[in-house]
Chains A and B, each alone.
Chain A
Amino acid sequence: MFDTGKYQHECERLTLNETAFAEAISTVQQSKSRSTKPVRTAMLVAALVATLGVTAMAQEPIREQFSQFMVILVAKNTNSDYSDNGYFKDAVYTPAMSYEEKEGHKLFTVDGAVTDVTEAMEQYGFYTCEWDGASLHLTVDGLVTLTRLSKNGDISEEITLDLLNDGAIVYQPLEGAEADELENMTEVDLTTEDEFELSGYYSTTGASDR
Chain B
Amino acid sequence: MEEDTFEEVARRYADGIYRVACHALGDPAEAEDVTQTVLLRLYQHNGSFESEEHRRYWIFRVAVNESRKVLRSPWRKRILPLEVWDGTTESVTEDGGVLGEVMRLDEKYRLPIYLYYYEEYSVKEIAHILRIPPSTVQTRLQRARDKLKIILQENVKEDKGYV
A171 at the interface (CB under 8 A from B): yes
CB-CB under 8 A for A155 and B65, given A6-B95, A14-B99, A179-B132: yes
Chain A residues near B157 (CB-CB < 8 A): none
User: In the bound complex, what is the Cα–Cα distance between A183 and B10 (angstroms)?
Assistant: 30
By beta carbon, the residue of chain B nearest A171 is B74
Q: A182 CB to closest chain B CB, in angstroms?
A: 5
Contacts of A4 in B (CB 8 A): 117
Interface residues on B, range: 35 or more
Interface residues of B, Cβ cutoff 8 Å to A? 3, 6-7, 10-11, 14-15, 17-19, 22, 24, 32, 35-37, 39-41, 43-47, 57-59, 61-62, 65, 68-69, 71-72, 74, 88-89, 92-93, 95-99, 102, 107-108, 113-114, 117-118, 131-132, 136, 145, 148-149, 152-153
Listed by A's residue number, 28 A-B pairs whose Cβ atoms lie within 8 Å are A1-B153, A2-B149, A7-B98, A7-B102, A9-B93, A10-B99, A14-B18, A16-B15, A16-B17, A21-B10, A21-B11, A21-B14, A24-B36, A25-B7, A27-B36, A27-B40, A28-B40, A31-B40, A130-B44, A135-B44, A155-B69, A158-B69, A178-B65, A178-B68, A179-B132, A181-B108, A181-B136, A189-B74
